[in-house]
């Protein structure tokens, strides 16, 4: 089991780059509940999210298995 207290948190941009999709796509996945993310407190126009490395790893594993 992964210790989530010390797990790396990734930005929307980092996740989009690794999945080779647009940042808007990642944000849409988060808003629809398709991608689990942590919403950070923020006073700006756009929401700030972080995605756990383990969440991204799960997606990458699923995509790799699906391609086989």
What does the pLDDT look like over 12-59, one tens digit per residue?
A: 999 999 999 999 999 999 999 999 999 999 898 899 999 999 999 999
Report yes or no on whether pTM surpasses 0.85. no
- Residue with structure tokens 């780059």? 17
36-40, Cβ contacts within 8 angstroms, sequence gap of 24 or more:
38/9
Residue 34 and residue 49 in contact, taking contact as beta carbons nearer than 8 Å: no
- Residue with structure tokens 């808003």? 31
Q: Which residue has the higher pLDDT, 1 or 43?
A: 43
Q: Which fold has domain 9-67?
A: Multidrug-efflux Transporter Regulator; Chain: A; Domain 2 (1.10.1660)
Which residues, 6+ apart, have CB-to-CB distance to 31 below 8 Å? none
């Amino acid at each position: 089991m992964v210790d989530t207290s010390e797990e790396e948190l990734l930005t929307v941009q980092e996740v989009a780059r690794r999945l080779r999709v647009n940042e808007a796509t990642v944000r849409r996945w988060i808003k629809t509940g398709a991608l689990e993310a942590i919403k950070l407190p923020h006073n700006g126009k756009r929401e700030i999210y972080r995605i756990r490395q383990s969440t991204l790893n799960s997606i990458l594993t699923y995509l790799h298995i699906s391609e086989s």
